[in-house]
Amino acid sequence: MNPNSKIYIAGHRGLVGSAIWNNLLSRGYTNLVGRTHQELDLTDQYAVKKFFDEEEPDAVVLAAAFVGGIMANSLYRADFIMMNMKIQCNVISEAYAHHVKKLLFLGSTCIYPKDAPQPMKENCLLTSPLEYTNEEYAIAKIAGLKMCESYNLQYGTNYIAVMPTNLYGPNDNFHLENSHVMPAMMRKVYLAKLIADDNWKAIRKDMDKRPVLGVDGKAEKQTLLDILSKYGIENNRVTLWGTGKPLREFLWSEDMADASVHVLLNVNFSDIIGIEKYSSVHYGASTDGAVDRNHSKGRGGAIPSLGEIRNCHINVGTGKELTIRELAELVVKTVGFKGELLFDDTKPDGTPRKLIDVSKIHSLGWTHKVEIEDGVRKLFEWYQQSLQ
């Protein structure tokens, strides 16, 4: 691709999509296309087709998804599988129909089995049962990466799937019910500190910016205290879900964006499966890293000379981990909270450990830059600025 290539970023206002947009701009790629959910409902097949008819992008980054943490995954199981499947099917099928040259699909490391060997390599996919609390989301994302893999094998496309670890960063979702662990934890600790400081001006500003169950900063003080207590936020005390023992890996969203753009611009499907070992006669390889469609048509996905091709996705992370309790203590220190930190062990922990093997992405020329201590500080600074 060249700087004039038209690149559609689905989910360009989200945590990763916005960072990818900015990363591309910084590299001189200015012909970017984005649509808000209000402008384009990606679950609407006909609307997606109309969009591709009109815009005809050269490349697509599929960063849009219906996401959330343990609580949201438990409450909205049907939504998580159906909405994500619709988004993926619509965008990927229209990308193919409109001859998109390159597609980057963003998944999640929740695709891996609950008891997968650690660190998790790409080839442990589908080797044992998934974690129950996020099974529907994981199944949808597995389907998405298999769509990319299967289109490549049958039609000779150049669709790459990347699986990021837990992400955090600018434009993160701080909703107390459907956000991921770090922003939810940070907001809880911050609000508990504000209650202890009797800083109701700041509390009301926070609640006006991000209402909770329809309650904003204009509510009575006791109403605010009651609603926040439902989420474990009290005067100088925070209660978090689980035991605090699970281990988690976290990646700064701007690092993920950098990895995504690196893959989009420099990595092809042929690189991932080692196609250079074979002549173009075996696979019909083209100069842009995809596979000649005419050669591939009707092949049914079989490439006998290569054997079975699986697990073509790429893990993206730091290769480092810490416990939820250690993360909470880091957030407490960053926020300046002096109160009590509790864990409710009657609530689910989720997967015990989720460390990924990042040797593949390293071999493709990319490594992370932001470490967790700096990342937590940067996230809290962004969160405070968002309240201004």
Options 112, 137, 168, 231, the catalytic residue: 137
190 is annotated as an active-site residue: no
How far is 9 from 11, CA to CA, in rounded Å? 6
How far is 359 from 36, CA to CA, in rounded Å? 35
How far is 29 from 246, CA to CA, in rounded Å? 40
Output b/e per residue, 221-250; b: 16+ Cβ within 10 A: eeebeebbeebbbbbebbbbbbbbebbbbb
Runs of H (alpha helix) within the chain: 15-26, 45-55, 70-75, 77-97, 135-155, 181-196, 200-209, 221-229, 253-266, 269-272, 280-283, 293-296, 324-335, 359-363, 372-386
How far is 327 from 138, CA to CA, in rounded Å? 24
Q: With left for phi above 0 and alpha for psi between -120 and 50, is residue 156 left, alpha or beta?
A: left
What are the φ and ψ backbone dihedral angles of 51, each rounded to 5 degrees? Answer: -60, -45
How far is 273 from 268, CA to CA, in rounded Å? 9
AA identity, residue 297: K
AA identity, residue 83: M
Catalytic residues: 137
